[in-house]
């Protein structure tokens, strides 16, 4: 059974800081990993999908890395802004060949103006 841990659980930083959100998972036989953002009371917005053949994936100020062998992924947010305040969720597949995702508890980010 895939288990996902996200550290830290919560983070409060001043605007402009570069941030690192960590995710670890127990079943490394995955073909990709997805990062989501969830605003309070809203749905999940896909941020990045990183394939197992890639080591990094970038979208604007976001960069995600994946190290399957160690069961870790990192989401890097550059030059954080108040609009980045949300909960960030890491979601690898449930296991080999499985399409459904398993979610961590998330990192709740607050960026102070």
Partner 1 sequence: DAGVIQSPRHEVTEMGQEVTLRCKPISGHDYLFWYRQTMMRGLELLIYFNNNVPIDDSGMPEDRFSAKMPNASFSTLKIQPSEPRDSAVYFCASSSLYRTEGTEAFFGQGTRLTVV
Which spans of this chain sit near partner 1 (rule: CB under 8 A)?
31-32, 34, 36, 42-46, 49, 51, 89, 91, 94, 98-106
Compute the residue count for the chain.
Answer: 113
Burial of 35 per CB tally in 10 Å (0-12, 13-18, 19+): buried
Is the Cβ of residue 4 or residue 19 nearer to partner 1 in the bound state? 4
Is the Cβ of residue 20 or residue 49 nearer to partner 1 in the bound state? 49
Q: Is the distance from CB of 44 to CB of 52 less than 8 angstroms?
A: no
Shortest approach of partner 1 to residue 25 CB, angstroms? Answer: 14
Provide the edge-to-edge strand list for the sheet that holds 10-14. Answer: 10-14, 107-112, 86-91, 32-38, 44-51
Shortest approach of partner 1 to residue 40 CB, angstroms? Answer: 11
Which residues does 40 contact at the CB level (< 8 Å), separation at least 6?
Answer: 86
Is the Cβ of residue 46 or residue 110 nearer to partner 1 in the bound state? 46
Shortest approach of partner 1 to residue 78 CB, angstroms? Answer: 22
Is the Cβ of residue 9 or residue 79 nearer to partner 1 in the bound state? 9
């Amino acid at each position: 059974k895939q288990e996902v841990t996200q550290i830290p659980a919560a983070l409060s930083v001043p605007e402009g800081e570069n941030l690192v959100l960590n995710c670890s998972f127990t079943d490394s036989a995955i073909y990709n990993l997805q990062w989501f953002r969830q605003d309070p009371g809203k749905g999940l917005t896909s941020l990045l999908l990183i394939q197992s053949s890639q080591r990094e994936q970038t979208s604007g100020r976001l960069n995600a890395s994946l190290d399957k062998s160690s069961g870790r992924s990192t989401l890097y947010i550059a030059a954080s802004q108040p609009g980045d305040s949300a909960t960030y969720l890491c979601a690898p597949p449930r296991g080999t060949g499985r399409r459904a995702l398993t979610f961590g508890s998330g990192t709740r980010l607050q960026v102070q103006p």
